[in-house]
Amino acid sequence: MRSRSVSSLVSVVVLTVAVAVAAATLAACSTGGTSGPTISDAWVRPAMGPDRPAAAYLVITNRSNQADALLSVSIPGASSVEIHETTTDASGMMGMHPISRLEVPAGGTVKLEPGGYHLMIMGLTTPLEVGSKVKLELVFERAGTVVVEADVRQG
């Protein structure tokens, strides 16, 4: 009798764990993994004209207890993608420049958004269509490659 009630308790626990794992897998499926940084709100603004760069924005959340850094990004059909930082000089003029790495602190969140950090997409062979999706391949120092789908939209 006793062993039967234990085994039914075990099966309830196993079921609960299975549901939790399934939920975690679903939540993580757009980020490419359960460990390392997770990516959310990824979107791409198409280029303003021919030979102009497109820009990509996203939010990186690092739930681990170890710092990581975004080192490089690639997008199919683009010759290069740069990680840019936006700065304002003493006269209030906004400018931007490429950075070689973007630190993501342990337990921290880094937002790439208009007016801040962003990805600059150079040399697109075909223009990005609003309403389509594009794959971003992000390479992190610690977590390795994380692939995420980004929506192409105007803002």
Q: Which of residues 45 and 84 has its CB atom nearest to Cu ion in the complex?
A: 84
Residue 40 tokens, joined: 């959310």
Q: Which of residues 119 and 148 has its CB atom nearest to Cu ion in the complex?
A: 119
Q: Which residue has the closest beta carbon to Cu ion?
A: 84
Tokens 């199919």 locate to 76
Q: How far is the CB of 48 from Cu ion (least distance, A)?
A: 12
CA dist 52 and 79 (Å) reads 13
CA dist 80 and 61 (Å) reads 24
Tokens 């150079």 locate to 122
Q: How far is the CB of 12 from Cu ion (least distance, A)?
A: 53
Binding residues for Cu ion (CB under 5 A): 84, 96, 120
Determine the 3-state secondary structure of 22 from DSSP: helix
Q: Which of residues 70 and 143 has its CB atom nearest to Cu ion in the complex?
A: 70
Q: How far is the CB of 120 from Cu ion (least distance, A)?
A: 4
Which residue blocks in 29-155 are alpha helix, DSSP H? none
Q: Which of residues 59 and 96 has its CB atom nearest to Cu ion in the complex?
A: 96
